Amino acid sequence: MAKKLLILLSLGTLLAAPAAHALTDGGDLLKWCSQSSSAASGRCLGYLLAAEDVLAADSIEGVRACLPRDIGLQQQHKIVVDWLLANPMATAATAMGLVARAYAQHFPCGSR
C-alpha cells in the first residue's frame, strides 16, 4: 500500500509541476550550427530549412525574406552563422526569428 501511495504522490507532483519548456534561442542555434556532431548539425539544418519554407509564403516575427530558389544549405548555413556571430546581442531572440533576420539581410523581398 505504501508503494502505491508513493507512486501516486510522485505522479501528482509531476502533473502539478509547471512546464519548463522555453523557445529555442540564438545561443542554442549558434551552438548547434557550430558543432560537428550529426545531432547538432541536424537541429541546425532543420531550423534553416523550416525558416526557408515559412518565408516562402509568410513572414516570421514580422520579418520577410525572399531566398533564391537555387540557394544551397551550405550558403544558408554560412549566412546564418556569420549573422549570429556579427550580432551577439541578438541571441536572446527566438531562433526562427534570427534565421529570418539573417536571411532578410541578404535576400530582402523586392530587391530582385
Distance CA 48, CA 43 (A): 9
What pTM was estimated for this model as a whole? 0.76
CATH code where residue 71 lies: 1.10.890
Determine contact, residues 66/112, Cβ cutoff 8 Å: yes
**Domain of residue 72, residue span:** 23-106
Query: Is-contact 107 66, C-beta < 8 A?
Result: yes
In a domain, 2, yes or no: no
Average pLDDT, the chain: 81
Residue 3 lies in a domain: no
CB distance 58 to 69 below 8 Å: no
Task: Yes or no: say if 109 and 66 are a contact pair by the CB < 8 Å rule.
Answer: yes
Flag whether 1 is in a domain: no
- The per-residue pLDDT for 6 is 34
Q: How many CB atoms lie within 10 A of CB 31?
A: 14
Return the CA Rg of the chain: 19
pLDDT band for position 92 (cuts 50, 70, 90):
low
Lowest mean pLDDT segment, chosen from 2-6, 23-27, 33-37, 63-67: 2-6
How many structural domains compose the chain?
Answer: 1
Residue 111 lies in a domain: no
The answer to whether position 31 is within a domain reads yes
**Tens digit of each residue's pLDDT (9 = 90 or more) over 16-47:** 444 445 678 888 899 999 998 898 889 999 98
Instruction: Identify whether 4 is part of a domain.
Output: no
Q: What is the pLDDT of residue 22?
A: 65
Assess if residue 50 is contained within a domain: yes
Q: What is the mean pLDDT of residues 68-85?
A: 94
